[in-house]
Amino acid sequence: MDDAIDVAALAAATGDDLQLAYEILLLFDGGLDDLVARLHTAARHAHAPTLYAAAHELKGAAGSVGARALASLSEAIEAAARHGRVEAGAVAALDAAVAAFRIRLAEMTPR
């Protein structure tokens, strides 16, 4: 199973319509930079309520498209922020997870 994008789960959710799955991933990717930037800003300022909200939003969106690594990191950030803490390791790992997601997305580009 690929943690960057769980293609099998997404294919099952779209009735094996890989074009639709790809389009859903593109929509998710389109908002990813802004969401991750909000998360980084909130973490940098140690503003737990904003961090929690951004992590919660990313967790849900990433989970719904099968971006398992991003969902998992977001879940860790959300849990810490719920208690007023910043999970610095998970925040730092976000950029690498976004890069891995985008590499996997590029590999899926319909030809």
Flag whether pLDDT at 1 surpasses 60. Answer: no
Q: Which residues contact 38 (CB under 8 A, 6 or more apart)?
A: 50, 54
Q: Which residue has the tokens 């908002």?
A: 31
Structural domain total, the chain: 1
What's the CATH code of the domain at 13? 1.20.120
Q: What pTM, to 2 d.p., does this model score?
A: 0.92
- 1 domain residue, yes or no: no
What CA–CA distance (Å, rounded) separates 109 from 74? 26
pLDDT (tens digit, 9 = 90+) per residue, 56-99?
A: 999 999 999 999 999 999 999 999 999 999 999 999 999 999 99
pLDDT of residue 109: 81
- 73 domain residue, yes or no: yes
**Domain of 79, in residue numbers:** 7-107
